[in-house]
Structure 1
């Protein structure tokens, strides 16, 4: 369906500044399930905007926060180059985990109160955003989460001090989750993937698990690692989850 994709709001943040949140939603009147989309370390790049628009076009109200708003001016996009990668990776371990979590709560609050949202909520993310989508799904309001090649969960290395509690808190996960990894992804090696899946089994999580023959960032529709066929397949798994869970009755 046709979407509206030029909206943003600036929410107050705990550091006294603002967190810019980009909104993509169907252009028709109505209320739709809400999806909080977390970006890679580069913030809201063109590929992330296209992913958000693609999700919104399937009938969802999508909100995309700028994850490094404490450190970068509103609207800042880091480049897909060495300097941008170094900056994004540095900020990933400069920002406290509690601040990432506070952003997720603010984003979910915003979506839940949006006039175009039904209040039924999901999260999705890629790379850093896959981890943040998982952590946001620890909020009991979140019904489903799609985590694409989430980094750092297996190593507990997100945030200031590189000491997150994501694996430890997995017992709190009530949302139904989708995990998708590339088997050739050096950021989440086989042992790391095995550790995450073992923990999901240990806590009795409701989850779906896929490992595909791809590298890291295979959903990003720029650069040599993009796999269009796997993009269609992987997002299809996401939409199947969202349609089943978000459209179900309470």
Structure 2
């Protein structure tokens, strides 16, 4: 599986990124994969490669490149509960500084870069993300209705995008929520907003999961839920492309 480390020109500098794609020399649909707050690391590279193995060019940018290249944070191999307070003390200021304006400027640059890759086929792309990355994916899809055909977000604060953003969505969507992230009532409110926008989507709570359930290097990891996430994501991409 070919992989690359790349530099994406943005309005505010250079964002480093990781890409994985099939080795057949053909052009494939592009997928912009936003990492969770912990950023690009072995588990994200593995997930990008797994998705690429299904016939996609997968680009994973470093959203916090303004604070330095990957690894922006020094992380242990396994992010246990004892390590989280110190990590979040450094991470939260970066998340808070990552305003909607920054998100949208970066999204413009990421999509321009992705669609220009010689390995990416013509036409729209997909965007997906985890945790805060799911919110970034949602903003990206809403801001680029003609360029993003599919949107997936997992254990992500999708509702934080706000009704105005959600109402602009035209991409097919899948939203896989952790059971600890929102109540059934909150899920109903989110789905009502998506229904009002006329979005073609699925949105569901993955039973028994906690925030971060897709990430194998954390205590939140749930193997069955991650497999369900792959099935949902691949089905979504299959319908979009």
Q: Match of 2:65? A: 69
User: Against the structure 1 CA distance between its residues 221 and 97, is the aligned structure 2 distance closer, same or farther, given a 3 Å change threshold?
Assistant: same
Instruction: Give yes or no for contact 1:41–1:85 (8 Å, CA) kept in 2.
Output: no
Q: Match of 1:4? A: 2
Out of 29, 48, 68, the position equivalent to 2:44 is 48
Out of 200, 203, 216, the position equivalent to 1:206 is 200
Secondary structure in structure 2 of the residue aligned to 1:93: helix
Q: Answer 1 or 2: which has greater helix percent.
A: 2
- For the aligned residues, what is the CA RMSD? 1.6
- Normalising by structure 2, we get a TM-score of 0.89
**Uncovered stretches (5+) of structure 2, i.e. residues with no partner:** none
Instruction: Give yes or no for contact 2:141–2:151 (8 Å, CA) kept in 1.
Output: yes
Secondary structure in structure 2 of the residue aligned to 1:215: coil
Using the TM superposition, give the Cα deviation of residue 199 of structure 1 relative to its aligned residue in structure 2, in angstroms: 0.6
**1:143 to 2:149 alignment:** yes
Q: How many residues align?
A: 229
**1:167 to 2:163 alignment:** yes
**1:105 to 2:89 alignment:** no
Q: Match of 1:96? A: 99
Out of 121, 128, 132, the position equivalent to 2:132 is 128
Secondary structure in structure 1 of the residue aligned to 2:101: helix
Give the whole-Å Cα distance in 2 for the aligned partners of 1:167 and 1:115: 36
Using the TM superposition, give the Cα deviation of residue 122 of structure 1 relative to its aligned residue in structure 2, in angstroms: 0.2
Q: Match of 2:25? A: 29
Using the TM superposition, give the Cα deviation of residue 77 of structure 1 relative to its aligned residue in structure 2, in angstroms: 4.0
Q: Match of 2:228? A: 233
- Normalising by structure 1, we get a TM-score of 0.86
Using the TM superposition, give the Cα deviation of residue 189 of structure 1 relative to its aligned residue in structure 2, in angstroms: 4.1
Instruction: Give yes or no for contact 1:135–1:166 (8 Å, CA) kept in 2.
Output: no
Structure 1 segments, 4+ long, off by >4 Å, are none
Using the TM superposition, give the Cα deviation of residue 121 of structure 1 relative to its aligned residue in structure 2, in angstroms: 0.3
Using the TM superposition, give the Cα deviation of residue 89 of structure 1 relative to its aligned residue in structure 2, in angstroms: 1.9
**Uncovered stretches (5+) of structure 1, i.e. residues with no partner:** 157-164
Q: Match of 1:161? A: none
